[in-house]
Protein backbone atom coordinates (compact mmCIF):
# COMPACT_ATOMS: atom_id res chain seq x y z
CA UNK A 1 0.00 0.00 0.00
CA UNK A 2 1.31 3.43 -0.95
CA UNK A 3 1.86 5.80 1.97
CA UNK A 4 0.86 9.46 1.83
CA UNK A 5 3.83 11.85 1.79
CA UNK A 6 4.26 14.37 4.60
CA UNK A 7 6.60 17.31 5.19
CA UNK A 8 7.86 18.25 8.64
CA UNK A 9 8.43 21.80 9.87
CA UNK A 10 11.47 22.13 12.12
CA UNK A 11 14.58 19.93 12.07
CA UNK A 12 15.76 19.91 15.70
CA UNK A 13 15.61 17.37 18.51
CA UNK A 14 11.81 17.19 18.64
CA UNK A 15 11.78 16.50 14.90
CA UNK A 16 14.06 13.49 15.40
CA UNK A 17 11.67 12.09 18.03
CA UNK A 18 8.64 12.65 15.77
CA UNK A 19 10.43 10.99 12.84
CA UNK A 20 10.81 7.89 14.98
CA UNK A 21 7.09 7.89 15.81
CA UNK A 22 6.11 8.41 12.15
CA UNK A 23 8.36 5.53 11.10
CA UNK A 24 6.84 3.28 13.79
CA UNK A 25 3.29 4.29 12.88
CA UNK A 26 3.92 3.45 9.20
CA UNK A 27 1.14 5.69 7.84
CA UNK A 28 3.26 8.36 6.15
CA UNK A 29 6.39 8.65 4.06
CA UNK A 30 8.47 11.66 5.09
CA UNK A 31 9.11 13.74 1.94
CA UNK A 32 11.45 16.20 3.62
CA UNK A 33 11.93 18.79 6.31
CA UNK A 34 11.47 22.56 6.35
CA UNK A 35 14.03 24.56 8.32
CA UNK A 36 16.42 27.50 7.92
CA UNK A 37 17.84 28.39 4.48
CA UNK A 38 21.46 27.66 5.43
CA UNK A 39 20.47 24.07 6.37
CA UNK A 40 18.89 23.14 3.00
CA UNK A 41 20.43 19.91 1.71
CA UNK A 42 21.54 18.71 5.15
CA UNK A 43 20.08 15.56 6.72
CA UNK A 44 17.99 15.06 9.82
CA UNK A 45 18.39 11.35 10.47
CA UNK A 46 17.84 10.01 6.94
CA UNK A 47 15.69 12.88 5.63
CA UNK A 48 16.75 15.98 3.69
CA UNK A 49 15.96 19.56 4.57
CA UNK A 50 14.18 20.62 1.37
CA UNK A 51 13.17 24.23 1.98
CA UNK A 52 12.12 27.06 4.28
CA UNK A 53 8.79 28.50 5.42
CA UNK A 54 8.87 30.65 2.27
CA UNK A 55 8.63 27.50 0.13
CA UNK A 56 5.48 26.17 1.80
CA UNK A 57 3.05 27.73 -0.69
CA UNK A 58 4.74 26.02 -3.65
CA UNK A 59 5.25 22.78 -1.69
CA UNK A 60 1.50 22.70 -1.04
CA UNK A 61 1.01 22.06 -4.76
CA UNK A 62 2.98 18.82 -4.38
CA UNK A 63 2.18 17.70 -0.81
CA UNK A 64 -1.12 17.45 1.05
CA UNK A 65 0.12 16.62 4.56
CA UNK A 66 2.38 18.59 6.89
CA UNK A 67 3.26 18.46 10.57
CA UNK A 68 4.91 20.92 13.00
CA UNK A 69 8.03 19.33 14.51
CA UNK A 70 9.34 22.37 16.37
CA UNK A 71 9.44 21.63 20.10
CA UNK A 72 8.06 23.76 22.92
CA UNK A 73 9.53 24.61 26.30
CA UNK A 74 9.49 28.27 27.30
CA UNK A 75 7.29 29.45 24.45
CA UNK A 76 5.00 27.93 21.87
CA UNK A 77 4.91 31.01 19.62
CA UNK A 78 6.78 29.34 16.74
CA UNK A 79 4.62 26.19 16.91
CA UNK A 80 1.40 28.23 16.91
CA UNK A 81 2.62 30.45 14.04
CA UNK A 82 3.55 27.42 11.91
CA UNK A 83 0.27 25.65 12.73
CA UNK A 84 -1.71 28.71 11.61
CA UNK A 85 0.39 29.05 8.45
CA UNK A 86 -0.24 25.41 7.51
CA UNK A 87 -3.97 25.88 8.10
CA UNK A 88 -3.99 29.00 5.89
CA UNK A 89 -2.26 27.03 3.13
CA UNK A 90 -4.86 24.26 3.49
CA UNK A 91 -2.44 21.48 4.43
CA UNK A 92 -3.96 18.45 6.13
CA UNK A 93 -2.58 18.20 9.68
CA UNK A 94 -2.84 14.61 10.90
CA UNK A 95 -2.72 13.32 14.44
CA UNK A 96 0.41 11.22 14.89
CA UNK A 97 0.13 8.47 17.54
CA UNK A 98 2.93 6.08 18.42
CA UNK A 99 1.88 2.43 18.24
CA UNK A 100 3.84 2.07 21.49
CA UNK A 101 1.43 4.42 23.28
CA UNK A 102 -2.07 3.69 24.57
CA UNK A 103 -4.96 5.95 23.64
CA UNK A 104 -8.41 4.91 24.86
CA UNK A 105 -11.02 4.61 22.16
CA UNK A 106 -13.08 6.89 24.40
CA UNK A 107 -10.48 9.66 24.32
CA UNK A 108 -10.47 12.54 21.80
CA UNK A 109 -7.29 13.89 20.21
CA UNK A 110 -7.20 17.02 18.03
CA UNK A 111 -5.44 17.55 14.71
CA UNK A 112 -1.70 18.16 14.50
CA UNK A 113 -1.09 16.57 17.90
CA UNK A 114 1.65 14.01 18.48
CA UNK A 115 1.40 11.24 21.08
CA UNK A 116 4.90 9.92 21.72
CA UNK A 117 6.12 6.46 22.72
CA UNK A 118 4.67 4.96 25.93
CA UNK A 119 2.30 7.88 26.58
CA UNK A 120 -1.08 6.87 28.00
CA UNK A 121 -4.32 8.74 27.39
CA UNK A 122 -7.26 7.32 29.31
CA UNK A 123 -11.03 7.20 28.79
CA UNK A 124 -12.90 10.44 28.24
CA UNK A 125 -9.71 12.51 28.15
CA UNK A 126 -9.66 15.32 25.59
CA UNK A 127 -6.46 16.62 24.00
CA UNK A 128 -6.65 19.66 21.74
CA UNK A 129 -4.91 20.54 18.49
CA UNK A 130 -1.18 21.11 17.95
CA UNK A 131 -0.21 19.49 21.26
CA UNK A 132 2.79 17.41 22.26
CA UNK A 133 2.02 14.50 24.58
CA UNK A 134 5.57 13.44 25.19
CA UNK A 135 7.20 10.13 26.04
CA UNK A 136 5.67 8.34 29.05
CA UNK A 137 3.22 11.18 29.82
CA UNK A 138 -0.08 10.17 31.44
CA UNK A 139 -3.34 11.97 30.68
CA UNK A 140 -5.84 10.43 33.07
CA UNK A 141 -9.62 9.97 32.65
CA UNK A 142 -11.74 13.09 32.11
CA UNK A 143 -8.71 15.38 31.87
CA UNK A 144 -8.67 18.15 29.28
CA UNK A 145 -5.49 19.40 27.61
CA UNK A 146 -6.31 22.46 25.52
CA UNK A 147 -4.70 23.51 22.21
CA UNK A 148 -1.00 24.27 21.70
CA UNK A 149 0.11 22.64 24.96
CA UNK A 150 3.14 20.47 25.69
CA UNK A 151 2.85 17.75 28.32
CA UNK A 152 6.48 16.79 28.78
CA UNK A 153 8.18 13.46 29.44
CA UNK A 154 6.78 11.51 32.36
CA UNK A 155 4.32 14.24 33.40
CA UNK A 156 1.08 13.11 35.05
CA UNK A 157 -2.19 14.96 34.44
CA UNK A 158 -4.59 13.41 36.92
CA UNK A 159 -8.29 12.78 36.39
CA UNK A 160 -10.57 15.73 35.79
CA UNK A 161 -7.72 18.24 35.49
CA UNK A 162 -7.93 20.98 32.88
CA UNK A 163 -4.67 22.23 31.36
CA UNK A 164 -5.36 25.57 29.68
CA UNK A 165 -4.25 26.36 26.13
CA UNK A 166 -0.62 27.35 25.46
CA UNK A 167 0.69 25.69 28.63
CA UNK A 168 3.83 23.69 29.29
CA UNK A 169 3.90 20.95 31.93
CA UNK A 170 7.51 19.95 32.60
CA UNK A 171 9.07 16.51 32.90
CA UNK A 172 7.76 14.45 35.83
CA UNK A 173 5.42 17.24 37.00
CA UNK A 174 2.19 16.00 38.59
CA UNK A 175 -1.18 17.71 38.86
CA UNK A 176 -3.67 17.09 41.64
CA UNK A 177 -6.98 15.75 40.34
CA UNK A 178 -9.80 18.03 39.16
CA UNK A 179 -7.88 21.31 39.15
CA UNK A 180 -7.15 23.90 36.46
CA UNK A 181 -3.56 24.74 35.56
CA UNK A 182 -2.04 27.10 33.03
CA UNK A 183 1.24 28.62 31.96
CA UNK A 184 4.62 27.10 32.74
CA UNK A 185 4.66 24.22 35.25
CA UNK A 186 8.29 23.43 36.04
CA UNK A 187 9.76 19.95 35.88
CA UNK A 188 9.26 17.78 38.94
CA UNK A 189 6.71 20.09 40.57
CA UNK A 190 3.29 19.25 42.01
CA UNK A 191 0.43 21.48 40.90
CA UNK A 192 -2.40 21.55 43.48
The domain in which residue 157 lies consists of 96-186
pLDDT of res. 52? 96
**Domain boundary, last residue among 66, 88, 110:** 88
pLDDT of res. 1? 72
Asked whether residue 100 falls in the same domain as residue 179, the answer is yes
Asked whether residue 81 falls in the same domain as residue 101, the answer is no
**Domain boundary, last residue among 88, 117, 144:** 88
Asked whether residue 57 falls in the same domain as residue 106, the answer is no
CATH number at residue 108: 2.160.10.10
d(CA 161, CA 25): 29
Asked whether residue 181 falls in the same domain as residue 115, the answer is yes
Asked whether residue 44 falls in the same domain as residue 75, the answer is yes
pLDDT of res. 72? 85
Asked whether residue 125 falls in the same domain as residue 174, the answer is yes
Look at residue 192 and tell me if it is in a domain: no
Asked whether residue 20 falls in the same domain as residue 75, the answer is yes
pLDDT tens track for 22-74: 999 999 999 999 999 999 999 999 999 999 999 999 999 999 999 999 998 77
DSSP character string of 46-81: TEEEEE-GGGHHHHHTT-SEEEE----SS--HHHHH
Asked whether residue 73 falls in the same domain as residue 30, the answer is yes
Asked whether residue 66 falls in the same domain as residue 24, the answer is yes
Q: What is the number of domains present in the chain?
A: 2
Asked whether residue 12 falls in the same domain as residue 64, the answer is yes
Look at residue 79 and tell me if it is in a domain: yes
Q: Write phi, then psi, for 83 (nearest 5 degrees).
A: -60, -50
Look at residue 35 and tell me if it is in a domain: yes
Asked whether residue 82 falls in the same domain as residue 100, the answer is no
Asked whether residue 136 falls in the same domain as residue 161, the answer is yes
Q: How crowded is the C-beta side of 32, counted as CA atoms within 13 Å?
A: 19
Look at residue 191 and tell me if it is in a domain: no
pLDDT of res. 75? 87
pLDDT of res. 84? 97
**Domain boundary, last residue among 41, 56, 88:** 88
d(CA 23, CA 25): 6
Contact indicator for 96, 67 with CB cutoff of 8 Å = yes
Please list the ranges in the chain whose pLDDT falls under 50.
none
Amino acid sequence: MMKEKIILLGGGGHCRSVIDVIEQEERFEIAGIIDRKELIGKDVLDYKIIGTDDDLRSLREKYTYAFVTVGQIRSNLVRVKLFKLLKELDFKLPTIISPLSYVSRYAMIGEATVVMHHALINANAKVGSNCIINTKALIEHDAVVEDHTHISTGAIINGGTKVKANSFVGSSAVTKESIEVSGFIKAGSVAK
